[in-house]
Every structure is written in C-alpha cells, then in structure tokens.
Amino acid sequence: MGLLGIERRFLAAIFRRSSVLWLLLLAACDKGPGEMPIPVDAGSASEPVSTRPSAAPLRAQRPLEPAELEYELGKKLLIQVSQNAAAPGAPGFDRVRAQLVGRAKGEPVVLVRTPQFNAEVGREAAYYRTRFASEWKIWPRLVSARQVFVDSPKLGRESILREGYLYAEHPNQAFSLVSLVGLDWLFSEKEVWLERGEVLMHAERRERGDYYFTDGPLAGSLVRLMHLDRMGVGAGPTEAALHRDFRALKYRLHFEQARIEHLGETQIVASLRYGPKLWIPTLLTAKGAHLELLREVVAPTQVAELREHRARQAIRQNGMSALREAMLALVREGMPFDEPKTEVGQEDGKLRAEWVKAYLAGRNSYTYREDRYPVFDKVGRPLVPEVCVDFLLDTFERAAGSWWRQKAEGSRELTRGSLDLGSSERSWLRRASSLIEFALAHPEWFEVWEVPEGERIELGYKEKFFNYLEKNAGKYEAGDIILIRGLTPWDEEEMHTHAFFIYETDPITGIPILIAGNAWRPQVWSWEAEARRTPKRTVRTRIRPKLEFLQLLAGARTFPQEPPPIAPIMEW
C-alpha cells in the first residue's frame, strides 16, 4: 500500500473514533499566519476572513466526513508547500512560451531555471555566441559556421549549448537552431546521450558522421535535434535536470492543461484542467525531469466528475493512439503528394486514379503525361498519391485497419477494416468542401465549428496568431482537423484551402504545437513551417472527431497511455 493510502486509512480510523479531535486539529491548522485557502476553481477569489467577534450564538458544528476532511487537509498541505522557497524559473522563456513551443519543434517542458552558457570559454566561442545572439541574422550565421563546427565540435558545443541544452528565448533563434544544427556540429564521439522530456536516449555515430538513435521510441532513426533537448557524452547526464516533463504527466493523469501556482525544485503546486472548466489543485514531486502525483485536492462534489472525465479521456487517448499510429506510418513511408511532374494548369489529384488502375492491374509503375511513377517503394510498400484531404482520410481508414496490400503479399487489393469511406479512388470526398459536408452529415462522428470572421488571423502575423491560440486554449485539441484558406505565394489571385490534423498540444498553455498532414510529403511539423509556406491563410474550420468515432478506429486494440514522439521516424 502506498504512503497516501496508509495516510488516508490512518486519518479515517482516527475520525471514526473521535470527531472532536478532528475539530480541534482543524482549529489548530487555521491559526497559521497569512494563510489563504486554495480554491478548487483557481479562477475564483477567496472571501476575506473577518477578525471581528461574531454576535451570533455559537452552534454545534457538524463533524466532517472523511472525504471532506481529506479535502480540507489537502488545501492546508498545498498552502504549506507554496510557502517554501520558489525556483527562479525561466522568465525569458515563459514570457513567449506560446510562440516558442508553437514555432520551434521541441518537447514543451517547464524549466526550473534558465540554462546558462559556460563562462570559461575561449575568445572564438565567445565570438560565435555574440553572432548568434541576433534574432533575425542567426540563420545565415549558423549556415556559415556549419563547417567550422563540424571540424571542431567542441567549439560548436561551447558556442551553442547552454548547460547541455539546445535553448533559445527568441522564436526565430529557436526555429533556426532546430532547423539547422545537427548532432555532428556538437560531437565527434562514438556514443552520446540525449534527454528529451523525461526520456533518456542514446545515439551512435556512423561512418558518414551522422548519429542514429540506438534505443528509445525513435530507435534506428537519424537524430534530429529538437528545441530544449539536453545532450552530452557518456552513458547519461551527471548534473541535475533543469526541466520538468508535464506532457508525459498529462498522459498519465489525463488532464488537458496545467497552470503552475508554485514552482519548486522538487515540489510543484499546479492547477490541472480536466475538461472545459474543472481545475484541480495538485501537488507534484519531481525526480529529475519525471513528475509524479503526490496529492490532489478534490472536493467531494467533484469526485464523480473527475472520475468520469478521466475514464472518457483514457478512451479518447486510446483512439488518438490509433490515429497517430496511422499518421506516423504515412509519414514514415513517405506517401507522395498527388501532383504530376508535368502539369497543364491545375492538375493536383490526377495521379491517384492512375495509381489505383496500375496497382489493381498488377503493374509496378504507371505513366501520366509521359512521366513514370512507381506503384511501390523500394521495399514493396504501396506509394499512394495523396492530396491533403487524402492524408486525413487515409489516416482514418488505415487506423481502422483498411489499407493496400504490399507487393510481397501477392494479391492486389484494399483490405477492409472497420471504416469504409467509399470507392478506392475516393473521387467524391477529396475536396475540402466535400469533407465538411461529410462531417456535417455524420454528427454522430464529428463536431464542425466555423471560426468567426473576427477570429481569423493570417498565419503570417505570428505573435497575434499565437496570442489568439493561447486565449482560446481548449478550442483546438489533438485529433482536430483544421482547414485553412487564403491566397498563396504560388497563386495570389485565387483562394486555396489546405487541411491537416492537430498532432499535439502544449500541456501548459493548451495551444496546438504540432500539426500533421501532406503538403508535399507527409510530415509532422510546426505552425512556423506552415506560416512560412502560406502566411496569408487563416483558420476557417475545425472538425473534431467525437469519442465514438475514435473508438471505432481503435476497435478492441489497447495502446499504452504515453505521449507520442515529437519527431517521428521518416525513411524517405
């Protein structure tokens, strides 16, 4: 039995024997100077306590039930912890957190202290640090320094890393670091370690100088650095971690957003949001980057609501795991975008029908306008052309068990799972407008929301756009389909629509931080990448798969309740 279970049984036993003792204990607890109760809804204010004597006659107080007593004592405990010395945090990072986690791919951790550069470095490293301090000029300066660092990785580490962290406080700096810096810029050793959130992984250097993960969720894939990664040489870190992994905790407790009330080195008081409005004060303990639940302050009237939410969220996360598994399979196998090499006018979407004909006819390639295309990849997996809506529909069908058989399986057919969205060519459902109509026609599966015109902000106005997302946390969740529309750099006369999934959200701000789709190749990428590609588009429609639909996709399968990888394996 855990410590908390023993504590509860002990308290309940004493309560049964003497309710008077509990009243005395609570009275003694109330004498703490300057203590204010922590409300269950952290957005409400506590009423001031009057010190004037009451003229009303004293009445006998009803003995507290065990659940009520635990609730009151829990509030007292959180108040006591909140009076301990606080960690400094990372004010520069926290000030622009929404932009940093939304624009630079990385694990959205919380920092108890800002990582610092090593002060004892030579003149050359100090020179590069100064050059990289510019928010807007860092990209070309990193490009020009690449070969210098590849030839001298120690200089690269001293110039870029802060206590082992790939860290920046400006969104453009963070995006540049993530986009350009490779592990070979920083190390030449055969084996290195990399900590991403609470997961410690190892990588080895191969003949060409690239590093590949040897363990963990990304084992076998090329190492691509993410913002807030921590790294070094040897078996693992020897210094204490400066980060805390709230995303992994979210998948264990099933909350949607955390609001930190007190940040300590080892103990954290946070209000965790379950559903739209239920905020639960919570005490957490840290073991390095890993967080564990120590105490929840749940009012007796909230117990049933919290239990029900967690049960539904566990089912939803299971369905989302099936959905993400299918997304990552399409990313890993590199489904080509459905656009002919030689195009007359606008011919996006023309190749899929040709691919289906060739596949079913037993051919290994097909032609369109005298250009040849493969039916399978180099290991015999189907290479099915997709427009952006196809990626969404292929994800749904593949999650439900429907997909094209591989070359080695002999027979050429589309296996049918628990979801069938129509013909193999699917010509009737490949347009964004048709997708919206389909969702509206199936209210048992989807919820459709049209973004009001006053909330439509061009992606290119990044600061304004991320402020909007932060103020509207909860309107956008993982698994949502987002349709954006507007003029594009390649066509400034006609409006174009693009559609993708929200892949993951930030556990602190609640904003979507990663999106998944097929714009030229299937990938999981940041809002920054989409904003740079089409800055004039705005979010127009959100289609949310309901719990019943996600259950249909997952079927009887059970997935681990753990966070999906931030950087999926891409073989293409």
Asked if the model's pLDDT at residue 434 lies above 50, the reply is: yes
Given pLDDT bands bounded at 50, 70 and 90, which one contains residue 273? very high
3-state secondary structure of 16: helix
Closest CA to 358 of 341, 343, 376: 376
DSSP 438: H
| Distance in angstroms (rounded) separating the CA atoms of residues 513 and 516 | 10
| Distance in angstroms (rounded) separating the CA atoms of residues 349 and 352 | 6
**Mean of the per-residue pLDDT values of the chain:** 89
Pair 419, 455: CB distance under 8 Å: no
pLDDT reported for residue 394:
96
Give the residue, 543 or 490, on which the prediction is more confident.
543
Asked if the model's pLDDT at residue 497 lies above 50, the reply is: yes
Mean pLDDT value across residues 250-267: 97
Phi, psi of 386 (to 5 degrees): -135, 135
CB atoms within 10 A of CB 84: 13
Closest CA to 266 of 289, 295, 233: 289
Mind listing the pLDDT tens digit for each residue in 193-227? 999 999 999 999 998 899 999 999 999 999 999 99
pLDDT reported for residue 20:
34
Helix and strand element counts for the chain (H, E)? 17, 20
Report the amino acid identity of residue 244.
Answer: R
pLDDT reported for residue 57:
54
Mean pLDDT value across residues 502-519: 97
Long-range CB contacts (< 8 A, 24+ apart) of 128-136? 128/155, 128/159, 128/160, 129/159, 132/159, 132/160, 132/173, 135/170, 135/172, 135/173, 136/172
Give the residue, 48 or 459, on which the prediction is more confident.
459
Q: How many CA atoms lie within 13 Å of 48's alpha carbon, on the beta-carbon side?
A: 3
Q: What is the DSSP string of 267-285?
A: EEEEEEEETTTEEEEEEEE
pLDDT reported for residue 410:
86
pLDDT reported for residue 424:
58
Phi, psi of 231 (to 5 degrees): -150, 160
> Among 158-162, 210-214, 322-326, 487-491, where is mean pLDDT lowest?
487-491
Instruction: Give the rounded percent of residues in the chain with a pLDDT score beyond 70.
Output: 88
pLDDT reported for residue 33:
34
Which residues are 24's β-sheet partners? none
Given pLDDT bands bounded at 50, 70 and 90, which one contains residue 2? very low
Mind listing the pLDDT tens digit for each residue in 383-431? 999 999 999 999 999 999 999 999 999 899 999 999 988 755 677 889 9
The structure tokens listed for 165 are 């962290």
pLDDT reported for residue 60:
60
Give the residue, 459 or 346, on which the prediction is more confident.
459
Residue spans per domain, the chain: 115-233
Q: Is the dihedral of CA 130, 120, 231, 107 positive or negative?
A: negative
pLDDT reported for residue 465:
97
Phi, psi of 196 (to 5 degrees): -125, 110
| Distance in angstroms (rounded) separating the CA atoms of residues 465 and 476 | 13
Mind listing the pLDDT tens digit for each residue in 343-385? 988 899 999 999 999 999 999 999 999 999 999 999 999 999 9
pLDDT reported for residue 98:
97
Give the residue, 14 or 57, on which the prediction is more confident.
57
Pair 212, 222: CB distance under 8 Å: yes
Instruction: Give the rounded percent of residues in the chain with a pLDDT score beyond 90.
Output: 81
pLDDT reported for residue 5:
47
DSSP 408: G
Give the residue, 130 or 136, on which the prediction is more confident.
130
Indicate the helix (H) or strand (E) that contains 29: helix 19-29
Mind listing the pLDDT tens digit for each residue in 7-29? 444 334 433 333 333 333 333 34
DSSP 14: H
Long-range CB contacts (< 8 A, 24+ apart) of 309-317? 309/254, 309/274, 309/275, 309/278, 310/253, 310/254, 310/274, 312/547, 313/254, 313/274, 314/254, 314/561, 315/547, 315/550, 315/551, 316/479, 316/547, 316/550, 317/251, 317/254, 317/559, 317/561
